[in-house]
Amino acid sequence: MDSDKQQYQQMTQEMMPKRPVLRNAVIAFVVGGLICVVGQGVQGFFMHQGMTTKEASAPTAVVMIGLGALLTGLGWYDRIVKHSGMGGTLPITGFANSMVAPAMEFRTEGLVMGVGARLFTVAGPVLVYGMTAAMVVGALRWLITGVA
Amino acid sequence: MAVRRRGAATYETDRVWIRGTGSVVGPKEGQGPLKDHFDRVWPDEQNGHPSWEKAEQALLAEAYEEALKKAETAWNGIDMVIGGDLLDQIVTTNFSAREHQRPLAGLFSACATFTEGLGLASMLLSGGGLDQVMVSAASHHQAAERQFRFPLELGYQRTPTAAWTATAAGAVVMATKPGPLRIESVTLGRVVDMGGKDPNDMGSAMAPAAFDTIQQHLTDTGQSPEDFDAIFTGDLGDFGVKVLRRYAKDKHLDLSAVLDDCGRSLYDAQQQDTHNGGSGPGCSASVFAGPLARRLVQGDFRRLLLVATGALFSPTTYQQGETIPCIAHAVAVVREEAFR
């Protein structure tokens, strides 16, 4: 019986329609790149107003998060990611999308059990493992270079 | 009146007819190739209702209304309602019962719910005691997305084999009084699990269950696929149908001449970007209650085997790495020549 299952799984894997990986990668590169160009432009604007590179990074992130939230609210961001995959998910605009989408979705369950409880359903794992990774890398840097 | 057992899992029913059918679908389904064959098409997915769940209930209520109208009856003529849906605690079917106030038997076998209902209703009616039974199944794309997948506006890429849950409801009034379609026999399926784990590929997970039930039905009744004008599976979709054809052929059953699928027929996959095709209990229910019933009545088909297929998993079970158990129930529906 188990070899039957194995054979069946093998057959379905062989028949499985192929994902257009190369095309997806190219679109992800272009769209992700474009989002970064916009971010660069925003940062340039703040630097033009007299901020240093370091000072400009925080307001740039705020603007990009705002843009991601706006496009999510307009119902456009999911279409961008549909075509661009990680190109749309990875930049900070994608993070905004992962917060705003559940906030919009779970309004019907109320502000506490709906929006409040479900806000981090998608972004939660990103935050947990992102922060964990940052701590590990930070600890390694401290061990190797002695710089905290 | 009696139910006669044929073989291991098939029951021949006696004097059970379909008197009226109702099908109501969402806008996307209403733009697909079958658009002209539904009773009602909603202009948008919410149609003025405050939540997706309430919209799904309203969709079902409208399907009930259409089925009652066509069967020329009213709720007080319905002895029992048998139906189900995809939402937790089958809330759509249960909550709708607050309105109709008829005895209710709620079912869940995911997307196979509709033929499970047709089968059980046929056997109950055939057994005697009941005169008219309402059978229904419903699903709503957005309500299912938020329960099984992600929030609507979250961007992600669907795989080529991912199914699109249909916003659709189908209802039929079945009776012991003659109607345009007659139920001939019913095969209740068993759970088949061939080890598929991917919730984005339910088609290939369900194909062996569909095969098992179709073969059981043919064996029990001594028929071959060509004895039917069409065999419609529920929602195997494009990939699932391909897999089923090949799987059946390997087991020496050639279905290629008669096999089609409700989910695959519901959308234009290229134009409507629905990938593998439609799914959800409402998919096979609305495609039967609308287009297929119409084709039977018009005489395009004389004998149809409807085999709705269900993937019986929950978000919890696939996150825990469990394989997906699947089921299929078959109902043979024939055009009643004597009724005209």
Domain assignment present for A60 = yes
d(CA B288, CA A107): 35
3-state secondary structure of B309: strand
Q: Compute how many other C-beta atoms are within 10 angstroms of the C-beta atom of residue B80.
A: 19
Which stretch of DSSP H or E encloses residue B114? helix B113-127
Q: Do B151 and A102 touch (CB under 8 A)?
A: yes
- Average pLDDT on B79-103 reads 97
Q: Cα–Cα distances in Å, from B41 out to A23, B118, B292?
A: 36, 24, 17
Judge whether A46 and A56 are in contact, CB under 8 Å.
yes
| Position B313 pLDDT exceeds 80 | yes
Q: What structural domains does chain B harbor?
A: 4-175 (3.40.47.40), 183-335 (3.40.47.40)
d(CA B86, CA B106): 11
- pLDDT tens-digit readout, A42-86: 999 999 999 999 999 999 999 999 999 999 999 999 999 999 999
A79 contacts in chain B (CB < 8 Å): 155
What ipTM goes with this model? 0.90
Q: Do A6 and B195 touch (CB under 8 A)?
A: yes
Domain assignment present for A51 = yes
- Our count of domains for chain A comes to 1
| Position B81 pLDDT exceeds 60 | yes
Domain assignment present for A67 = yes
pLDDT of A131 reads 96
Q: Do B239 and A16 touch (CB under 8 A)?
A: yes
DSSP per-residue string spanning A64-116: HHHHHHHHHHTT-HHHHHHHHTHHHHSSHHHHHHHHHHHHHHGGGG-IIIIII
Domain assignment present for A12 = no
Q: What are phi and psi of B260, to 5 degrees?
A: -145, 180
Which stretch of DSSP H or E encloses residue B104? strand B104-107
Count Cβ–Cβ pairs < 8 Å, chain A vs chain B: 89
- pLDDT tens-digit readout, B234-282: 999 999 999 999 999 999 999 999 999 999 999 998 899 999 999 999 9
B161 contacts in chain A (CB < 8 Å): 16-17
Beta bridge partners of residue B10, listed in sequence order: B6, B187
Domain assignment present for A146 = no
Identity of the residue in B152, B155, B195 whose CB atom sits nearest the CB atom of A80? B155
Domain assignment present for A76 = yes
Give the model's confidence band at A1: pLDDT under 50 very low, under 70 low, under 90 confident, else very high.
low
d(CA B243, CA B212): 13
For residue B6 the two structure tokens come to 């044929």
Q: Is B226 exposed, middle or buried (0-12, 13-18, 19+ CB in 10 A)?
A: exposed
d(CA B88, CA B188): 23
Give the pairing type, strands B80-85 and B104-107.
parallel
- Closest by CA to B207, choosing from B230, B238, B241, is B241
Distance from the B155 Cα atom to the nearest Cα atom in chain A, whole angstroms: 4
- Closest by CA to B143, choosing from B106, B94, B90, B97, is B90
Distance of alpha carbon B143 from its chain centroid, rounded?
18
pLDDT of A29 reads 97
Give the pairing type, strands B259-261 and B230-233.
parallel
pLDDT of B171 reads 98
d(CA B41, CA B109): 26
Domain assignment present for A44 = yes
Q: Can you tell me which residue has the tokens 């039930």?
A: B213
- Closest by CA to B1, choosing from B179, B131, B173, is B131
Angle at B313 between CA A106 and CA B244, to 5 degrees: 125
* Domain extent for A108: 24-122
Domain assignment present for A50 = yes
Which stretch of DSSP H or E encloses residue B186? strand B181-187
Distance from the B4 Cα atom to the nearest Cα atom in chain A, whole angstroms: 32
Angle at B139 between CA B213 and CA B228, to 5 degrees: 30
Q: Do B151 and A24 touch (CB under 8 A)?
A: no
Distance from the B138 Cα atom to the nearest Cα atom in chain A, whole angstroms: 21
- pLDDT tens-digit readout, A120-140: 999 999 899 999 999 999 999
- Closest by CA to B312, choosing from B202, B169, B149, is B202
pLDDT of B216 reads 98
Identity of the residue in A6, A8, A73 whose CB atom sits nearest the CB atom of B208? A8
- Closest by CA to B302, choosing from B328, B251, B340, is B340
Give the model's confidence band at A15: pLDDT under 50 very low, under 70 low, under 90 confident, else very high.
very high
Sign of the CA dihedral B98, B166, B329, B335? Answer: positive
Give the model's confidence band at B176: pLDDT under 50 very low, under 70 low, under 90 confident, else very high.
very high
Give the model's confidence band at A148: pLDDT under 50 very low, under 70 low, under 90 confident, else very high.
confident
Give the DSSP letter of residue B181. E
Identity of the residue in B50, B146, B242 whose CB atom sits nearest the CB atom of A15? B242
* Amino acid, res. A4: D
Give the model's confidence band at B1: pLDDT under 50 very low, under 70 low, under 90 confident, else very high.
low
d(CA B115, CA B332): 10
| Position B141 pLDDT exceeds 60 | yes
Q: What are phi and psi of B275, to 5 degrees?
A: 55, -115
pLDDT of B338 reads 78
- Closest by CA to B100, choosing from B86, B120, B83, is B83
Identity of the residue in B161, B194, B246 whose CB atom sits nearest the CB atom of A5? B194
Which stretch of DSSP H or E encloses residue B72? none
Nearest-by-CA chain A residue for B275: A17
Q: Do A105 and B157 touch (CB under 8 A)?
A: no
A24 contacts in chain B (CB < 8 Å): 157
pLDDT of B339 reads 77
The A-side interface with B (CB below 8 A) comprises 4-6, 8-9, 11-12, 15-19, 24, 72-73, 75, 77-82, 85, 88-89, 94, 97-98, 100-102, 104-106, 108, 121-122
pLDDT of B337 reads 86
Q: Cα–Cα distances in Å, from A25 out to A19, A76, A91, B33, B174?
A: 11, 20, 15, 33, 53
Give the pairing type, strands B10-12 and B17-25.
unpaired
Distance from the B163 Cα atom to the nearest Cα atom in chain A, whole angstroms: 14
Distance from the A145 Cα atom to the nearest Cα atom in chain B, whole angstroms: 39
For residue A65 the two structure tokens come to 């998060």
